[in-house]
Amino acid sequence: MPSPSTTSPRAQARAGVSVRAPGRLHLGFLDPSGSLGRRFGSIGLVIDGFETGLELAPAEHDALSADTLAAQDELGRASAHLQRLRERSGCHAPLSLRLHQVLPAHAGFGSGTQLALAVGCAFARLHALDVDTPTLASWLGRGQRSGIGIAGFDAGGLLLDGGPGRDGSPAQLLSRVELPLGWRVIVVLDERLRGLSGSGEREAIARLPPLPQAAAADICHQVLMRVLPGAASDDFAAFAPGLNRVQQLLGDHFAPAQDGSAWTSAAVGRLMRWWGASAGDAAAIGQSSWGPTGFAIVPSADAALGLIEAARAAGVVDDALTVRVVTARRRGAVVADLPAR
């Protein structure tokens, strides 16, 4: 788990624990059908600007509260996580949980995993349990396909995992690369829609035809020989076309589960297609997971501003969309002990 950012608990009484867990963009699966012998495998990017934040503390009786309407909607899931943690650990003392903010749900930010791990991390630290993040994820039923959210909770960065184990264990991290400091990520949200999740996601994947082996091999080659080396060496000219090719192959594959489109949101898709046509490989463009969130990774803040201004001038930014420019995040969750009052 991430290291705490405050004084050691031995130096002061611990009145509670706060956790701020970052959002991530899921940039694609390597082999969702297992045509090369192992299913899934993922590449993803942890970003700043979006996070889940909470506090967990001892209490006289259980209490749940939320600071926003979106957080209020997630209290049920948070309560279920606490119940599961109690069952697995045997720690049943009453607790107060306060959700300050949450990631947009079912939008491509990994909100479910980050909420689960934030609750799990706070619970483990409060009770001095020696439990690592992958174990917490297993306890709480996370990481069944992608390990990006789990690794991102611990470390941040551009991450590659090898898919879940044959025994159902969470995916192991294979590579972590930090994006160059100057690069920027344009994040486009359509809050009117939600991407697939839960049983709907499982059923959609089951109905899809297998991704051809040649396509899986192409994705693996693009990630290994263009995306990761491009990010590691500040070579955007290698990174962008590699990621664009990955997104093209996966967009075509998952389109039947998204009404025949590579984009869950028609408004996001219109903007992304326009950027793709106008910028070409000067931007790495795609949809995070099942969307509806889209992204465009560019080599500088000026490039991000230029793309946004050009799109607005062309009238291709729907008024309902939220467009934000953020940076890649180089660290995972921030965990802190709350001082005694």
> What are the tens digits of pLDDT across the range 258-309?
999 999 999 999 999 999 999 999 999 999 999 999 999 999 999 999 999 9
Residue 9 pLDDT = 38
Confidence class for position 165, pLDDT limits 50, 70, 90: confident
Domain ranges for the chain, please list them: 14-178+330-339, 184-326
Burial of 81 (0-12, 13-18, 19+ CB in 10 A): buried
- What's the angle, vertex CA 166, arms to CA 247 and CA 41, rounded to 5? 15
> What are the tens digits of pLDDT across the range 28-78?
999 999 999 899 999 999 999 999 999 999 999 999 999 999 999 999 999
52, two tokens: 């889940």
What angle, 0 to 180 degrees and rounded to 10, lies between the N-to-C axes of helices 213-222 and 236-254?
150
* Two domains, one topology: 14-178+330-339 and 184-326: no
CATH number (3.40.50.300, 1.10.40.60, 3.40.1790.10, 3.30.70.890) of 184-326 reads 3.30.70.890
CATH number (1.10.760.10, 1.10.260.40, 2.40.160.20, 3.30.230.10) of 14-178+330-339 reads 3.30.230.10
- 12: pLDDT strictly greater than 50: no
